[in-house]
Structure 1
Amino acid sequence: MLISNAYAMGAPGGQAGQAGGLAGFLPIIILFAIFYFLLIRPQQKKAKEHKAMIDNLKKGSRVVTSGGIFGTIVSLDDTTIGLEIAEKVKIKVARSNIGGLISENEAATPKEKN
């Protein structure tokens, strides 16, 4: 008698388990879509632009490293770049450590301090 009362408390036909299928995964799918469009996609786009900039470097270009060192490219290799950071002062840095190019008008007009 006790067993039949326990079965009477359950949902008829097991219908409660079917409703949670896709509805349970929907918040996870929405969260992944938000992460993709706000975090992953912009980061991939920035990495692609940085790689294109690194591939198009040439001698004489003014660059800044990721460490903040400004210099002019004097030599190029597959993995390293030779920079002249002052007159007769040259250093080698890894190609991937180039943070960006410096435009000619930005280099020609230094900002004055007041």
Structure 2
Amino acid sequence: MNTILAAQAAGGNNYSMIIMLVLMFAIMYFFMIRPQQKKQKEIRNFQNALETGAKVVTGGGVHGEVKKVDHAAGIVEIEVSKGVTIKVEKSYVFAAAPEQK
């Protein structure tokens, strides 16, 4: 008799376990995945709006001023010093350079 009652009680735990897993996934989605997707969208919009003269920072930490943007090829020419320009992939330009005082 006790084994039958124990088996019935254990069956109810399956639903609570499923509910807990769903809740954990929902929490993970709203606190980890969704903010990361928003950040990636902001970076993508920034990269698509790049214009000549903008001060930027690349993924490697190189600061410079945009001299030429080729959106079709995905290439950005950045002047890092007077007369020194480098070509980088547009996807490696992550942010606007902070204003220096």
TM-score (norm 1): 0.75
Whose strand fraction is larger, Structure 1's or Structure 2's? 2
Structure 1 stretches of 4+ moved >3 Å: 14-18
Matches within 5 A, 1:40-51: 40-51=33-44
Matches within 5 A, 1:15-34: 15-16=8-9, 18-34=11-27
TM-score (normalised: structure 2): 0.84
| 2:12 aligned counterpart, secondary structure | coil
The percentage of counterpart residues that share the same residue type is: 33
- What letter corresponds to residue 88 of structure 1 in structure 2? G
2:93 counterpart of 1:98: yes
Amino acid at match of 2:70: D
Q: Any stretches of 5+ residues in structure 2 without a counterpart?
A: none
Aligned length: 98
| Runs (5+) with no aligned partner, structure 1 | 1-7, 110-114
